[in-house]
Amino acid sequence: MHIFRSLIFVCLFLSPAVFATAAPPDGVDAVYRYFSELKSFQAHFFQLVQDGKGETMQQSEGEVWIAKPGRFRWNYKTPFEQQIVATGTELWTFDPDLEQATVKPIDAILSITPAMILSGHKNLEDMAEVKLIGTSDQEYWFKLTPKNQSETLDTIEIAFYKQQLHAIRIFDSFNNTTTITFSEQQLNKPLPASLFSIDLPEGTDILGKGE
């Protein structure tokens, strides 16, 4: 299993609404508002996975699209091609090199992880506690602590820079840190429904369907 596959479980915190500069002193209300106003988001992403010593385990990049409720697509281009697609009811992971796809009911995954927040299944207030942990030169860092701790996820930090979501940092129970930075964001634009469906080549081995 590629390291970046852990994205399915721990790192889909993203939204297109404007982050208010005139936020309350602690900024928490602004973060709640940011996520509650999610409609659609499109961006290029760069993902870095590091171990507890700060050494790089993997770097990857690609494109992401999210549309509320319950739909998203992460297309990884490097170092390996992979597609992670939530259709609203199912979560698909497709590895072209392996000619293999995995499918699970989306509730089975998102109900136990903060990924539910991005996909619009549940409000952020119900999923995590938010705390401002640092500011510097128009950049705001917040810590999100899940109210129901998972076995793999410890905490998440998110950064806003110049009114846009800039980065997500995930700390897991294996002492690894995953940092995702976003660029070329497009906010609240209509996204075609075809983005949130999976089109598998003939002969693809499908795991999970009918099990």
Q: Is the entire prediction scored with pTM above 0.85?
A: no
The residue count of the chain comes to 211
Quick check: 168 and 179 in contact, CB under 8 A? yes
DSSP letter for each residue of 170-187: EEETTS-EEEEEEEEEEE
pLDDT at 116: 57
DSSP 5: G
What is the longest distance spanned by two Cα atoms in the chain?
56
Reported as a single tens digit per residue, the pLDDT across 70-82 is: 888 999 999 999 9
In the chain, what are the helix, strand and coil shares in percent, each to the nearest 5?
15, 45, 35
Task: Name the DSSP class of 59.
Answer: E
pLDDT in the model for residue 97: 93
| Whole-number Å distance between alpha carbons of 94 and 102 | 7
> How far apart (Å, rounded) are the C-alpha atoms in residues 204 and 101?
7
* 160 in Cβ contact with 144 (< 8 Å): no
**Which residues of the chain carry a pLDDT beneath 50?**
1-6, 8-25, 112, 114
d(CA 19, CA 80): 33
Q: CA neighbours within 13 Å on the CB side: how many for 38? A: 28
- Token pair for 67: 């549309």
Phi/psi region, residue 27 (left: phi>0; alpha: psi -120 to 50; beta: rest), is: left
